[in-house]
Amino acid sequence: MSTVLKVENLSHRYSTAWAIRDISFEISQTGVIGLLGSNGAGKSTTMNIICGVLKQTEGEVYINGINKKDDPRLAKRQLGFLPQTPPLYFDFTVNEYLTYAADLRFIEKTAVKKAVAEAMDKTGIAHFSSRLIKNLSGGYRQRVGIAQAIIHKPSVVILDEPTNGLDPNQIIEARKLIREIGNEHIVLLSSHVLSEINLLCRDIIMIEGGRIVFSDSMDSFNNYLQPSSVLAVMENMPAEAELLKLRGVTKVEFLSGRQCRIYFAGADNITELVIAASMQHQWRLQEINLERSLLDDVFKQLSRQS
């Protein structure tokens, strides 16, 4: 499978300070890829360079094998971009704006009407085609912004905080739309909402301190930190001292008369140890589950690596 988006040793310097250093990754398959990082980590710089808004100090960006530095116009035809603040003209109707966007994307005059209609249909805004953009709700303005990003059927769509400022119902609809776009395009999604990243993304690229600190699947991100506690339900709950005798147990927290949280370190077989002790001492274990780390915990741990 050929690489669609390739970022190679990308570095950029503002004055004397490096914003990013040696950023490299490749994306070949359609789907939603999350771009994570703290404020000031280098996400926006990376996105702006890929989109051609900013010229990098070092490194290369290739889209479908086209070097953006050598042929920026042809490379950018393969890209769609929705910045955090959608680039909308409020006094245009939806149809006028998307027609203008199609012209900017060098779509053939004879194909503009069809391209506009398809973009409106995919984003669910066809019934608002004659409405002024300033009279649309925030959710539908965001849909118009997404429509301009996909109107020319680009290989790569970059979305920067696409659900920012939307209400809960609008967020649900926007996420559904992003999933659908990910079926046909590579979507590079930047968001500070980790639950959104978890729901939408197949893979994660995390930048901290201007460098990539994680690049792998969403599953690998979820399991980056090893579990450090288990939740256990027992009919005959033992005393804390009895549980602390188990190898690796460091702390016990009683949540009710039948449920406790057991913290451990260095014991990969903690569940087996609790099961064996329950059988030996008649604790009547009903349920035991490893507790995975929260996404926030993984994010914080990776942030410290920068």
* Residues sharing a CB contact under 8 Å with residue 96, sequence separation 6 or more, in sequence order: none
Report the share of the chain in percent with pLDDT over 70. 97
- Residue 89 one-letter amino acid: Y
pLDDT at 306 over 60: no
Can you give the pLDDT at residue 297?
A: 76
Q: Flag whether pLDDT at 39 surpasses 70.
A: yes
pLDDT of residue 82: 95
What is the rounded CA–CA span in Å between residue 135 and residue 131? 7
What value does the mean pLDDT of the chain take? 92
The reported pLDDT for the residue numbered 289 is 92
- Is the separation of the CB atoms in 65 and 41 below 8 Å? no
Mean pLDDT of 83-101: 95
Among 244, 50, 242, CA closest to 159 = 50
Fold of 229-290: Alpha-Beta Plaits (3.30.70)
For position 303, what pLDDT does the model report? 78
Beta-carbon-side half-sphere exposure of residue 171 (alpha carbons within 13 Å): 14
Per residue in 186-245, pLDDT tens? 999 998 888 899 899 999 999 999 999 999 998 888 777 767 789 999 999 999 999 999
- What is residue 239's DSSP assignment? P
User: How far apart are alpha carbons 63 and 188 in whole angstroms?
Assistant: 13
Q: What is the pLDDT of residue 305?
A: 60
Contacts of 163 (CB under 8 A, 6+ apart): 142, 170, 171, 174, 175, 191, 193, 196
In 3D space, the residue among 301, 279, 291, 4 whose CA is nearest the CA of residue 155 turns out to be 4
* 2 pLDDT more than 90: no
Cα 154 to its chain centre, rounded Å, is 19
> What pLDDT is recorded for position 194?
86
- Alpha-carbon distance of 207 to 15, in angstroms, equals 21
DSSP 250: E
* Structure-token pair, residue 101: 């966007």
| Each residue's pLDDT tens digit, 243-299 | 999 999 999 999 999 999 999 987 678 999 999 999 999 999 999 998 776 677 777
DSSP H helices in 53-106: 72-76, 94-104
Which of helix, strand or coil describes residue 76? helix
Mean pLDDT of 86-109: 95
Task: State the DSSP code for 284.
Answer: -
Question: Where along the chain do its domains lie?
Answer: 5-222, 229-290
- Domain 5-222 CATH superfamily: P-loop containing nucleotide triphosphate hydrolases (3.40.50.300)
Which pLDDT does position 267 carry in this prediction?
A: 66
Region of 15 please: left (phi>0), alpha (psi -120 to 50) or beta: left
The whole-number pLDDT of residue 193 equals: 82
> Looking at residue 88, what is its pLDDT?
96
Taking only the tens place, the pLDDT of each residue in 125-183 is 999 999 999 999 999 999 999 999 999 999 999 999 999 888 888 899 999 999 999 99
Pairing of strands 285-290, 229-234: antiparallel
Which of 283, 225, 228, 293 is closest to 259 using CA atoms?
283
Contact predicate 222/292, CB 8 Å: yes
Give the closest residue to 8 by CA, choosing from 28, 27, 22, 29: 22
